[in-house]
Structure 1
Amino acid sequence: MDPEHPSVLIVEDEPDLANLYAAWLDEGYDVSTAYDGTEALESIEETVDIVLLDRRMPGLSGDTVLDTIRERDLDCRVAMVTAVEPDFDIIGMGFDDYLVKPVSKDELHSIIDRLLLRSSYDEQLQTLFALASKKALLDAQKTEAERKTSQEYAELEDRLAVLKANVAETMEELLESDSYRRLCQDITRETVFED
């Protein structure tokens, strides 16, 4: 990842919309577009940092593209940007975040900033944030009654609870570790000397 100019691939079957997104993002990112799933899979490579992916496209759907990205084990963050309202099926999907169209320029910039920040986290934290995003999305879109009757949602809550406990345990171990304390001191010293 080039921190100065992260790369964003926009996968959108409506060319006017894809080009609008590209124009909104062009100033801060290295932007490329793909107008269908096949083109996306042909153009995606190891250097793509963020993929903005439409779910419903003719030919290869965004869901299939997402599955292929994860099967290839590409180290990129994926945000679904789609008109498809989320349902409990999203729990098992491998995306990092989800936006429902229409989206604004500010929303696109915000989601990319969040995903770039998450890229710096370890795998455990990336998973935690991806699951927390799904839960927040479903909390906003589904009634309490729908959530209570969904087995998938219950499993999502269980996974989140386990991950939160694991992260808390890891943080506790780090805080107790003398090497972590020394690392923090070194970082503080570096910052002071740079100022």
Structure 2
Amino acid sequence: MSADLPMVLVVEDEPDLADLYATWLRDEYRVRVAYGGREALEELDEEVDVVLLDRRMPDLSGDEALEAIRERDVGCRVAMVTAVEPDFDIVAMGFDDYLVKPVSRDSLKDTVENLLRRNSYDDGIQELFALASKKALLESEKDAATLEEHAEYQELTERVQNLRAELDETLTAFDDEHDFTAMYRDLGGDLDVDADSSE
């Protein structure tokens, strides 16, 4: 397999599930598999582009592994792939995307593709993606009244709006509407892109 292909690290303590994810991805990517959080940190290096990280693992939780990954600053994108339903604690977590099990082959592959696409954007746009993904995730799981009651959600919304305002100049540089749409398709339009952003 070509060394030019992106590297995906699958971290999952259920071996059958880890191997299934790896099988789904091997036709398009180089894949490493770790069957626990500590093993994941041993497998992590500058070659890894995307980490698919389970949240509940006995030796080192996905949350702890995520913190360690971010401390190493290897520049990879991280998606949590977990049975843990998202709650407001996700706002403070440093992941780029969040998938709730069971996960389909198409969903897993689309997530990896979208995360790799994000690698080509600057840090501000990557942060906007991550924050908007969290906002959309919470909005899909919580009702409006619950969201209104939580300061974490209000702060997240404000951060998304502020970052969008800062990035407006960058976003308007995407004068090809197709490219702009493709850039945000994985967020389901949550960024509320309006006509004003293209003026």
Q: TM-score, normalization: structure 2? A: 0.84
Task: Please report how far the alpha carbon of residue 4 of structure 1 lies from its aligned counterpart in structure 2 after TM superposition.
Answer: 4.7
1:49 counterpart SS class: strand
C-alpha displacement of 1:104: 0.5
C-alpha separation in 1, matches of 2:74 and 2:152: 26
1:38 equivalent in structure 2: 38
- Describe how 1:42-81 pairs up with structure 2 within 5 A: 42-81=42-81
- CA-atom RMSD in angstroms: 1.7
1:57-90 CA distance string (max 9 Å, x none): 0011000110001011111000000000000100
Query: Aligned residue pairs: how many?
Result: 174
Cα distance, 1:170 vs. partner? 4.1
1:6-155 equivalences under 5 Å are 6-155=6-155
Q: CA–CA distance in 1 between the matches of 2:171 and 2:68?
A: 33
- C-alpha displacement at 1:173, in angstroms? 8.7
Structure 2 unaligned runs (5+)? 176-199
Structure 1 residue runs of 4+, over 2 Å off? 169-175
Distance 1:143 1:14, change over 3 A: same
TM-score of the pair, normalised by structure 1: 0.86
Which piece of structure 1 moves more, 166-175 or 67-76? 166-175
Structure 1, gaps ≥5 residues long: 176-195
Say if 1:24 and 1:144 are closer, same or farther in 2 by CA, change over 3 A: same
Structure 1 residue 169, shift from structure 2 partner: 3.5
* Distance in 2 separating the partners of 1:7 and 1:148: 40
Distance 2:150 2:32 in 1: 38
Per-residue CA deviation, residues 34-57 of structure 1 (Å, 9 max, x unaligned), is 000010001110110000000010
Q: What letter is aligned with 1:74?
A: V
Equivalent AA in structure 2 for residue 108 of structure 1 = L
Cα 1:174–1:6 shift into 2, 3 Å: closer
Relative to structure 1, the CA distance from residue 35 to residue 162 in structure 2 (aligned partners, 3 Å threshold; closer, same or farther) is same
What letter matches 1:47 in structure 2? E
**Distance in 2 between the 1:165 and 1:129 partners?**
14
Deviation at 1:155, TM superposition (A): 0.2
Q: SS of the residue aligned with 1:27?
A: coil
